[in-house]
Chains A and B, each alone.
Chain A
Amino acid sequence: MRNIFTICGKELRSYFTSPIAYLLMALFGLIFGYFFYSATAYFVVAGLRAQMSGGGAQPMSINDYVIGPLMGNASVVGLFLIPLISMRLFSEEKRSGTIELLMTSPVNDWEIIIGKWLGAMSMYLCMLALSAINVALLFAWGKPDWRPILTGYLGLILQGGTVLAIGTFISSLTKNQIIAGAATFSICLLLWVLSWVSSYNDAPWAAAVAYCSILTHFEPLSKGIIDTKDLVFYGSAIFLGLFLTSRSLDSLRWRA
Chain B
Amino acid sequence: MIKVEGLTKRYARNVAVKNISFEVGQGEIVGFLGKNGAGKTTTMRVLTCFLPPTEGKASVAGFDVLDQPLEVKKRIGYLPETPPLYPEMEVSSYLAFVSRLKGIPSAEILKRVDEVCDRTGIAGVKHTIMSKLSKGYRQRVGIAQAIIHNPPVLILDEPTSGLDPQQQREARQLIASLSGDHTIILSTHILSEVEQSCSKVIIINNGEIVVSDSVANLHSRRRATELVSIEISGASPQAVKQRLEQVPGVARVVSRDSRDGTPAFEVESMENYLVRPDLARAVVQAGWNLTEMRVVGESLEEIFLELTKSEEAAPIAAAAVAAEVKEGAVTTQ
Listed in ascending order, the chain A residues whose CB lies under 8 Å from chain B are 2-3, 6-7, 10, 13-14, 17-18, 96-108, 253-256
Contact = CB atoms under 8 A, between A and B. Distances in A.
A8 B97 CA distance: 11
- Which of B78, B86, B87 has the largest number of chain A CB atoms within 10 A? B86
B48 A104 contact: yes
B54 to A, nearest CB: 10
Contact of A105 (B12, B80, B93, B102): B102
Nearest to A104: B48
A106 B97 contact: no
13 contacts: A3-B100, A14-B89, A96-B85, A97-B81, A97-B84, A99-B84, A100-B78, A100-B80, A101-B80, A102-B101, A105-B102, A106-B70, A106-B103
B119 interface: no
A106 B149 CA distance: 11
A101 to B, nearest CB: 4
B74 interface: yes
Ranked 9 nearest A-B pairs via Cβ:
A101-B84, A106-B73, A6-B100, A98-B84, A105-B101, A104-B48, A106-B74, A100-B80, A97-B82
Interface string B36-66: 0000000000001111100000000000000
B98 A101 contact: yes
Given A104-B78, A106-B70, A256-B11, A3 B88 contact: no
B73 A104 contact: yes
B145 interface: yes
Contacts of A17: 88-89
- Which of A6, A17, A100 has the largest number of chain B CB atoms within 10 A? A100
Contact of A2 (B81, B86, B100): B100
A100 B98 CA distance: 12
Contact of A6 (B74, B87, B89, B97): B97
B80 A108 contact: no
A98 B86 contact: yes
Contact of B88 (A18, A101, A106, A254): A18
Given A14-B88, A103-B50, A104-B78, 12 more contacts: A14-B86, A96-B82, A96-B85, A96-B87, A97-B80, A98-B84, A98-B85, A98-B86, A99-B84, A100-B80, A104-B50, A105-B73
B50 A108 contact: no
B156 interface: no
B76 interface: yes
A10 B84 CA distance: 15
Nearest to B81: A97
Contacts of A14: 86, 88-89
A6 to B, nearest CB: 4
B145 A101 contact: yes
Contacts of A106: 70-71, 73-74, 101-103
A248 to B, nearest CB: 16
Contacts of B103: 106
A256 B101 contact: no
Nearest to A107: B101
Contacts of A3: 100-101
Nearest to A6: B100
Contact of B49 (A6, A7, A98, A104): A104
A18 B97 CA distance: 17
A103 to B, nearest CB: 6
A247 to B, nearest CB: 15
Contacts of B78: 100-101, 104
B154 to A, nearest CB: 12
A45 B81 CA distance: 66
Nearest to A99: B84
A107 B84 CA distance: 16
B143 to A, nearest CB: 13
Contacts of A253: 50-52
Interface string B76-118: 1010111011111100010001101111000000000000000
A129 B84 CA distance: 33
Nearest to B82: A97
Contacts of B11: 256
